[in-house]
């Protein structure tokens, strides 16, 4: 066989390998082909091609593996079992930038599915190799590495700590300062995934100087970047007063409030979440948000949003109101009660109704004025309805009941309480009757109204256990009226009158 023929054979072999990996990579990009490829044993055919002498074949083989592993955890598991990870890790250090991107993609695709698979990636020694990639000149390699590190860190605190221990954080902070938008986004997302697990991990990110650089980007025109920036800042803020204060000290207010009107739903939701996470810690932080115009901005936001986007705004108003009478008054003045009442009525999801019920309870529980502001919005019957609804979740029932009790114990605005006399079950009724028993002895106008509205009649129909708190309240109310009036409205009185007519003998 001549030399030319030998070369031709090699050429054909190379062409065949190239065509094979390109076709597999192409097929693997469409979900409907995955099962067929898996059944054909494509994994074991791709593995030796990762070591091919031709760089494009190596890269395309890695890309195909990444697409397969990305599809589901079974295929990701097959990559681990096929002993492919050590090969990829080795190549990350040795090969060109195209291969590095493809290899990092496979590691990310495996790590994303579960903590166990992410741990396999860590065990293969990938972290050190990925961190070295963060120092590469090529932004695409940095991005692929940052993405893989974020996917490893997002599962739990142990994996996030492993990413930190490998030295990733200072390099990720450098990446958010790079000019490329997509690199900034992925690096901010990875930092957010590290911060979310514990105060210690968030502190590591803060110590690397992340807050100042994130804060500079809050008004960036790119929506996808802002999503990640606000997510990272809220994951830092949520853990402790100190961390929340550090975020506030980066002078993000009042600038962040404009982003509550951002056209991008996720940007809005992440901003509202950030404001909630700061407001929940202390009255001082909540007051700072109020002073910046934050409550009014969040009330507008709750009015303009629906569903889960609305939720962090609802909770933020509840947290602010919970801190003190004055802060709750700030929510009332900004028309917060009205918007929370609308959310309670129109949201179909139980967990959002539960949050609105809780927030209204936090506003109404402070003083009679606070309770009256909530009662005026016709919230009490709605809360009762949520509590009594047969198909309501346990959480909605608990929060509605607690909110009702909190508001009722302060509410002396009797017209708002009257409807509950007719509908409330015994455990709520005792609180309603208790409030009437507090007010009626001292208010003659209210006493008269209570008779004409049918309230006194309703109280006579209540069957209270002798000696119970409810029986005491009923007695206190009855003592506000002449005996014959109480008798007149007692059940069976008209029948006994008719009996007397029957028995009456005219003279």
Q: What is the CATH number of the domain that holds 51?
A: 1.25.10.10
User: How do residues 437-458 score in pLDDT, each as one tens digit?
Assistant: 888 888 888 888 888 888 888 8
Q: What is the pLDDT of residue 469?
A: 84
Nearest to 358 by CA among 317, 308, 304: 317
User: How do residues 272-321 score in pLDDT, each as one tens digit?
Assistant: 999 999 999 999 999 999 999 999 999 999 999 999 999 999 999 999 99
Contact between residue 377 and residue 366 where contact means Cβ atoms under 8 Å apart: no
Taking the C-alpha atoms of residue 400 and residue 420, their distance in angstroms, rounded to an integer, is 14
Q: Which residues contact 35 (CB under 8 A, 6 or more apart)?
A: none
354 and 448 within one domain: no
Band (pLDDT 50/70/90 cuts) for residue 339 is: very high
Mean pLDDT computed over every residue of the chain:
88
Q: Where are the alpha helices (DSSP H) in 84-222?
A: 85-94, 97-111, 115-123, 126-133, 139-153, 157-165, 168-175, 181-195, 199-207, 210-215
Verify cis geometry, omega within 30 degrees of 0, for the bond prior to 254: yes
Domain finish residue from 137, 166, 195: 166
User: How do residues 389-410 score in pLDDT, each as one tens digit?
Assistant: 888 899 999 999 999 989 988 8
Total count of domains within the chain: 3
Rg (CA), the chain: 33
Band (pLDDT 50/70/90 cuts) for residue 257 is: very high
Domain finish residue from 413, 443, 475: 413
With a cut of 80, say whether residue 388 has pLDDT above it. yes
Structure tokens at 323: 């801190």
With a cut of 90, say whether residue 148 has pLDDT above it. yes
Give residue 290's domain range.
252-413
Residue 123 is assigned to a structural domain of this protein? yes
- Residues above pLDDT 70, as percent of the chain: 97
pTM of the model: 0.86
Domain finish residue from 166, 184, 206: 166
CA 241 to each of CA 80, 183, 201, 319: distance values in angstroms, whole numbers, following the listed order: 42, 30, 15, 14
396 and 452 within one domain: no
Residue 194 is assigned to a structural domain of this protein? no
DSSP string, 192-244: HHHHTT-HHHHHHHHHTTHHHHHHTTTT-S-HHHHHHHHHHHHHHHTS-HHHH
361 and 290 within one domain: yes
47 and 145 within one domain: yes
Residue 268's region, left for phi above 0, alpha for psi from -120 to 50, else beta, is: alpha
Q: What is the pLDDT of residue 330?
A: 94
Residue 93 is assigned to a structural domain of this protein? yes
Between 167-171, 213-217, 436-440, the lowest mean confidence (pLDDT) is in 436-440
With a cut of 70, say whether residue 499 has pLDDT above it. no
Q: Residue 101: helix, strand or coil by DSSP?
A: helix
Structure tokens at 331: 């929510």
CA dihedral (30, 36, 42, 44) positive or negative? positive
With a cut of 80, say whether residue 39 has pLDDT above it. no
Structure tokens at 480: 């506000």
- Residues above pLDDT 90, as percent of the chain: 51
59 and 22 within one domain: yes
How large is the average pLDDT for residues 232-252? Answer: 94
447 and 397 within one domain: no
């Amino acid at each position: 066989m001549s030399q030319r023929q030998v070369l031709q054979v090699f050429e054909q072999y190379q062409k065949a390998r190239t065509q094979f990996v390109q076709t597999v990579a192409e097929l693997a990009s469409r979900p409907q082909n995955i099962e067929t490829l898996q059944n054909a044993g494509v994994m074991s055919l791709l593995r030796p091609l990762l070591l091919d002498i031709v760089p494009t074949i190596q890269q395309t083989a890695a890309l195909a593996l990444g697409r397969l592993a990305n599809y589901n955890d079974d295929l990701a598991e097959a990559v681990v079992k096929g002993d492919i990870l050590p090969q990829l890790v080795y190549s990350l250090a040795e090969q060109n930038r195209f291969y590095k991107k493809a290899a990092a993609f496979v590691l990310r695709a495996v790590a994303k599915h579960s903590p166990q698979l992410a741990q396999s990636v860590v065990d293969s020694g990938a972290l050190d190799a990925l961190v070295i990639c963060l120092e590469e000149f090529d932004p695409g390699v940095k991005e692929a590495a940052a993405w893989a590190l974020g996917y490893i860190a997002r599962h739990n605190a142990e994996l996030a700590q492993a990413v930190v221990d490998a030295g990733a954080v200072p390099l990720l902070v450098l990446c958010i300062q790079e000019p490329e938008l997509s690199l900034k986004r992925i690096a901010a997302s990875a930092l957010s995934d590290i911060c979310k697990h514990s105060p210690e991990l968030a502190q590591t990110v803060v110590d690397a100087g992340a807050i100042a650089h994130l804060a500079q980007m809050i008004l960036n025109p790119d929506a996808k970047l802002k999503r990640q920036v606000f997510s990272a800042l809220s994951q830092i803020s949520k853990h402790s007063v100190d961390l929340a204060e550090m975020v506030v000290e980066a002078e993000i207010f009042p600038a962040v409030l404009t982003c509550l009107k951002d056209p991008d739903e996720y940007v809005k939701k992440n901003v509202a979440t950030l404001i909630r996470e700061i407001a929940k810690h202390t009255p001082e932080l909540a007051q700072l948000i109020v002073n910046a115009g934050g409550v009014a901005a969040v009330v507008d936001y709750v009015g303009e949003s629906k569903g889960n986007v609305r939720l962090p705004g609802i909770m933020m108003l509840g947290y602010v109101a919970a801190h003190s009478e004055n802060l709750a008054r700030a929510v009332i003045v900004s028309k917060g009660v009205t918007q929370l009442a609308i959310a309670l009525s129109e949201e179909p999801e139980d967990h959002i109704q539960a949050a609105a019920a809780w927030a209204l309870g936090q506003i109404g529980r402070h003083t009679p004025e606070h309770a009256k502001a909530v009662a005026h919005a016709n919230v009490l019957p709605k809360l009762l309805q949520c509590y009594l609804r047969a198909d309501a979740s346990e959480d909605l029932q608990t929060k509605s009941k607690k909110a009702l009790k909190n508001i009722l114990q302060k509410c002396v605005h009797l017209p708002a309480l009257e409807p509950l006399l007719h509908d409330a079950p015994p455990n709520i009724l005792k609180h309603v009757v208790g409030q009437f028993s507090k007010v009626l002895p001292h208010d003659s106008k209210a006493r008269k109204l209570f008779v004409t509205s049918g309230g006194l009649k309703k109280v006579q129909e209540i069957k209270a256990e002798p000696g119970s708190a409810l029986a005491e309240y009923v007695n206190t109310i009855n003592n506000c009226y002449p005996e014959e009036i109480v008798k007149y409205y007692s059940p069976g009185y008209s029948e006994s009158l008719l009996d007397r007519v029957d028995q009456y003998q005219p003279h």
